[in-house]
Amino acid sequence: MPCPVTLAFTGDQHAHLRSHLFPGDDLEAVAFLLCGMRDGDRRQRLTVREIHEIPYEHCVRRTPTSVTWSPDYIDTILERAAAERLAVIKVHSHPNGYAAFSATDDRSDAQLLPMIQGWVEGELSHGSVVMLPSGQMFGRVMRGGDLTSIDCISVAGDDLHFWYANAGSLELPSFVASHAQAFDEGTIERLQRLSVAVIGASGTGAPTIEQLIRLGVGEIVCVDDDVMEDRNVNRIVNSTMADAVEKRSKVEVAADAAERIGLGTKFIAIKQNLWHPDVVRAVAQCDVVFGCMDTVDGRFLLNLISTFYNIPYFDIGIRLVASDGDIKEVCGTVNYIRPGRSSLVSRDLFSITQVAAAGLARNDPMAHDRQLKDGYIRGFQGRRPAVISVNMLGSSLAVNEFLARLHPYREETNGSYASVTFSLASMEIICDPEEGICSIFSRSVGMGDVRPLLRMMELADKRST
């Protein structure tokens, strides 16, 4: 059975497309998307890379229920798609709000989609999508000669949107009754359908996993290559000293807890380092990513995955400064990363130089130690203090940030909360808005699978197993 197909937009892409498709004249309009892809074992994720609008004046005819244009206008678009092996998606509007494909749409797609398949060689899923005045979208793709629904269309903007082909078809389990009083049934169903990656199963990762399971998230992909030690038990929920004695993997401990809880979450435990191409490919199929790791290079890699595959990314960072029982600072920050906007680098959380130094420490510890000794690397920090109560506060803040974007409820718009920092020393919560675009990451939005993976030679050196 073929994997379900999803289509992923950034918030800016969706807003730009909506402004073109609904210019205010109540007539249909049309555009074409060029999409990258993550052709995975769990789902095929189409990632919007470019939007090509058909100018209104170049349309042969525009009415409230139809739009036609010269096929010659899309020749250059199809040539690009063929040269770079990109999926092609036609998008048009239904200004009257009709929430289904019309007979006119059926006739148009029956002619257009086979033509695109013939032009762009390879097993790519080309398709057709409709946008309604609300911004909601639905669509279908042609696989072989058959049309199948796009399972989910997502938008990673200030707000998170997930529109499903068969929305409303899931039966809500009884355990969600309490939090269903706060969130509507649509939000609860979206949680049930989501695939969420949690990178790191220790300090902030363990309580994040716990919350997501009990909220009813459908699938969790957990990545951590570490094993339990005595010093971990004081902050990993559901762990025991017996786990540390047996040196069980942290992802195995989390998977066992998910099974015992029994709320139906599918748990995919990956005991590998994030810096493996198979792990990157697994994470890139997910709908949302939580970064629960404190390595600079790991957070940089998650920012890349978020950008290449149009995935919203919640990064959790905890900082506890203490010496001989004298606490100087207890704080943490949740950064929400919108693909195509600012990054952890442009927000000055770390520099590319620090990323390179962390990579050297991971791949060649002896060379890293020499450079550190010789003064070429500055500011490298070893193991930091960790306290479960602080980690749980940071984790809770991140999960609530996720919920606020899935089901907006704050007085101000979500754009005001690109980063949220708490300080227990000064008892403050500081929020910063989204500002600017990262020049390093913005060029890679929606690229999908490329060679080498994420354009990083380190990921090309290993072979998929």
Torsion of CA 450, 138, 285, 405, to 10 degrees: 110
Please compute the mean of the pLDDT values over residues 131-135 and round it to a whole number. Answer: 98
Given a contact cutoff of 8 angstroms between Cβ atoms, the answer to whether 415 and 336 are in contact is no
Radius of gyration of the chain (CA): 23
DSSP string, 94-112: -TT---S--HHHHHHHHHH
How many Å apart are CA 320 and CA 384, to the nearest integer? 7
pLDDT at 377: 44
Please compute the mean of the pLDDT values over residues 106-120 and round it to a whole number. Answer: 93
Integer CA distances (angstroms), 82 to 75, 116, 325, 358, in order: 11, 9, 63, 39
Q: Which residues of 55-64 are buried (b: 16+ CB within 10 A; e: fewer)?
A: eeeebeebee
Q: How many CB atoms lie within 10 A of CB 285?
A: 22
Q: Where are the domains of the chain?
A: 5-156, 174-460
Please name the fold of domain 174-460: Rossmann fold (3.40.50)
CA-based max dimension of the chain? 77
How many Å apart are CA 377 and CA 364, to the nearest integer? 14
CATH number of 5-156: 3.40.140.10
Pairing of strands 66-69, 59-63: antiparallel
State pTM to two decimals. Answer: 0.94
Q: How many CB atoms lie within 10 A of CB 427?
A: 7
- Per residue in 58-81, pLDDT tens? 999 999 999 999 878 899 999 999
> Which of 47-51, 121-125, 198-202, 436-440 has the lowest average pLDDT?
121-125
